[in-house]
A and B are shown apart, each in its own frame.
With several copies, the nearest count.
Chain A
């Protein structure tokens, strides 16, 4: 392959490839799954960490759906203290950045989490805003733009010198509102999308499995979220949702993503990182583009008209 580079800068975050393993997919990066080519990865996001340990949900936690799956792991994790003690340092894959995902039900919780990570000099934090907000029954933080703004702002104030990624939920009327709120709150990067709320009915065992839908089935929804959000915000986007092939990753980038997150497809496609690098490199070559950033948003309306829609600030 030629001079094409897959290096990418998302604000201050420099990655050697745009491939990020999404949160919850790869434990804390401490397990060598052998078949994944780490050289092709830009970063790994840890499983989301909370203040207190969480035992997670009872079985069943997994259900296959047409071209996808539902999971309800329930954020099982050992809590921030145990994470720092045992997992944080084992999570270092050579030349692959570690991004620590955190989540809390109140501003206080996410502030505390951030303080502890900043002390340990964690450089990139992803704030998972799909956690239920303790003050609003059943609503996730990123289902409300005001809350999103408050949570992000509080965290950013504590980690000014660090990179803050806000990860938002697609279970909203208009995801660009959440995205704008997160940008206004000070997020440096946005990750979208998290899973879609969904259920499965087990007619055999007569049960209901309630959780988040992921996989190829949701790709068209994730692509739309990235496409729309790219038109509204100035910060770079990490596109996530159903990426299973190099072609999928390319579509996200052309829609407006600067980098992409691989999620549940990692469970079934061991060659996904290689395939993505290959497809992206071939695309850059064929189109005489030098840098991956030249491809970002190439098919987005925004880059055709140049115009950005007006917006109000928080």
Chain B
């Protein structure tokens, strides 16, 4: 990992509260899908973590939602402004060349790491289904979706695709068309929790990207821990360093993350 200043190439409002940030430059070590960066947004004391949504042509892409004060300030930045970034951080999604059929399941900004993952998988000529859940049609970032994979949508209000939770949609899809070799997920905790259940039921490995409040982002503060199974029961592991990608089987899913 390294710390460096990136210049903003683009910072645009996509849909509803969703924004796309493009940073100019590169890391010494190329990031892999599932990794994230830690951005300093003045005047806030702590950095803010964001998944890498794409990386190529000397450009780093971030997909973010305005949820609070720092993301609000971030949305006001303009092309040409600089941001200090630490990255790439964490472990990416494990990718295995034996997988032929792949499900990507994402909701909200949780699709960000999956977009990057799609970018890298798409070249491999695999069978990829991207399940995309959103609150309503207006929240869907259509123009970011790479060409060449199958998309299945669901919205809470039925305004686009199926009506209902994307996990259920995926489950029905499995019932009809069979299960994939692997599932990759990103999104709200409750969605990932449901995904974990489905993957267990179908005995299909699933890897998801977790989120948590972070201070260091580099594994040195133990602030971002989550319960992960070990030999004797469980222990607190760091989302930033031991994750953010975890096998759903290892995670102790709770009501409050």
Contact = CB atoms under 8 A, between A and B. Distances in A.
A179 to B, nearest CB: 27
B3 A27 contact: no
A59 B211 CA distance: 12
B215 A34 contact: no
Contact of A73 (B43, B218, B221): B221
Contacts of A24: 221
A25 B226 contact: no
A33 interface: yes
B216 interface: yes
Interface residues of A, number: 33
A48 to B, nearest CB: 11
B221 A71 contact: yes
**Consensus secondary structure, chain A interface:** loop
Contact of B47 (A34, A68, A267): A267
A267 B46 contact: yes
B21 to A, nearest CB: 19
B40 A268 contact: yes
Contacts of A25: 220-221
Given A62-B214, A63-B213, A34 B1 contact: yes
Contact of A61 (B218, B220, B225): B225
B222 A76 contact: yes
Interface in A220-273: 264, 266-268, 270-271
A71 B223 contact: yes
A27 B222 contact: yes
Interface string B80-103: 000010100000000000000000
B257 interface: yes
B212 interface: yes
A69 interface: yes
Contact of A267 (B84, B215, B257): B215
Given A27-B220, A31-B220, A59 B256 contact: yes
B236 interface: yes
Nearest to B45: A215
Contact of A31 (B218, B223, B225, B236): B218
B46 A268 contact: yes
B213 A62 contact: yes
B217 A267 contact: yes
B44 interface: yes
Contacts of B224: 61-62
Contacts of A35: 1-3, 86
A55 interface: yes
A216 interface: yes
Interface string A15-43: 00000000011110001011100000000
A60 B225 CA distance: 9
Residue from B217, B223, B224, B235 having most chain A Cβ neighbours under 10 A: B223
A67 interface: yes
Given A31-B241, A268-B46, A59 B257 contact: yes
A60 B40 CA distance: 21
A31 B40 contact: no
Interface in B32-70: 40, 43-47
Interface string A99-134: 000000000000000000000000000000000000
A61 B45 contact: no
A7 to B, nearest CB: 26
Residue from A47, A64, A267, A270 having most chain B Cβ neighbours under 10 A: A267
B107 interface: no
A56 B222 contact: yes
Nearest to B69: A64
Interface in B1-40: 1-3, 40
Contacts of B222: 27, 47, 56, 61, 73, 76
Contacts of A266: 216, 220
B225 A62 contact: no
B219 interface: yes
A75 to B, nearest CB: 9
A271 B3 CA distance: 9
Nearest to A24: B221
21 contacts: A25-B221, A26-B220, A33-B218, A34-B1, A35-B1, A56-B236, A59-B213, A61-B213, A61-B222, A61-B224, A62-B221, A63-B213, A71-B215, A73-B221, A73-B222, A264-B215, A266-B216, A267-B215, A270-B3, A270-B84, A271-B3
Top 6 A-B residue pairs of the complex, sorted by shortest distance between their CB atoms = A270-B3, A35-B3, A62-B223, A27-B220, A34-B1, A267-B216
Interface of B: 1-3, 40, 43-47, 84, 86, 212-226, 235-236, 241, 256-257
